[in-house]
A = this chain, B = another copy of it.
Amino acid sequence: MNKTVQELAIKENVQLNEDTNLLIFEAPDLKEDLLPGQFANVLVKDSTTTFLRRPFSIYDFDKKTGSFSLIIKKVGDGTRKLCQFNAGEKLSVIYPLGKSFSLPNRDEKVLLIGGGSGIAPMMIMAKAIAHLTSEIHILLGARAAKDHIELEKFEKVGKLHLTTEDGSLGEKGFVIHHSLFNDIKSFDRIYTCGPNPMMKAIGDIAIENDVPCEVSLENMMGCGFGVCLCCVTDTHDKGHQCVCTDGPVFNAKEVKW
């Protein structure tokens, strides 16, 4: 699908918890699939502090109703402002941007790991591979029970596993402490998105255990479509690669953390 810049109306803005909202956009032109890992770059209207756009992974989309959604965690001025817009207001959105996760082979056992706002691409990914395999395990990590969001929806698209740092829900600890990692070799593929230290740790374990692993990076972006060269990650074979166009999805083996 070609990328476009469009003024899209907010269909719904749902507060999921204290610091996270779900923003559903009306996208009447949406005729093709959005791919898991792709993102949208949103202009923060009326912000006196946020000059550049802000990138967010596609969480879900629906070609029938012509809509897609983002999960936005309030971490600074831009995200706080975005979560304040009401249904009906229009925002300028560039999408779809970036490359997709590669898809698993038929019937492979797959592990999707999301941490923090990195859970977003795991929903679209789980749905995208549902026709390929039924062995979809989704491991989500958060600080505490109240930080876990959209669990009912995730439960519908895979076998859900949870961790919390304080042990208030699921297993206690970080995602890599989860008991799934005791038998990590049983998985054919791992896909992950979240804070860099988490993805690095998962990538290291995957490499050690010879499990193919893809990570979706969240580097700061100037443009989102490959022209400013600000978002680079260093890689082993290809030097600096643009997270926005060469990624955001990379093979864990490639990334020099």
> Which residues on A are within 8 Å of B, measured CB to CB?
46-48
Residue ID in chain B nearest A44 by CB atoms: B48
Complex A-B: 5 CB contacts under 8 Å = A46-B46, A46-B47, A46-B48, A47-B48, A48-B48
CB neighbours (8 Å) of A46 from chain B are 46-48
CA A157 – CA B46 in complex, angstroms? 40
Complex: how many Å from CA A217 to CA B255?
64
**For the complex, what is the distance from the CA of A177 to the CA of B246, rounded to whole Å?**
71
Q: How far is the CB of A86 from chain B (nearest CB, A)?
A: 12
A183 to B48, CA, bound (A): 53
Looking across the interface, which residue of chain B has its beta carbon closest to that of A50?
A: B48
- Inter-chain contacts of A48 with B (CB < 8 A): 46-48
CB distance from A43 to the nearest CB of B (A): 11
Nearest chain B CB to A153 CB, angstrom units: 33
Nearest to A81 among chain B residues (CB) is: B46
- Cα of A46 to Cα of B84 in the assembled complex, Å: 13
Bound CA–CA A47/B46 (angstroms): 6
Complex: A46 Cα to B48 Cα, angstroms: 6
A179 to B46, alpha carbons, bound, how many Å? 48
Shortest beta-carbon distance, A165 to chain B, in Å? 36
Q: Report, nearest first, the 5 A-B pairs whose CB atoms are least far apart.
A: A46-B46, A48-B48, A46-B48, A47-B48, A46-B47
**A47 to chain B: closest residue by CB:** B48
* Nearest-Cβ distance from residue A166 to partner chain B, whole angstroms: 37
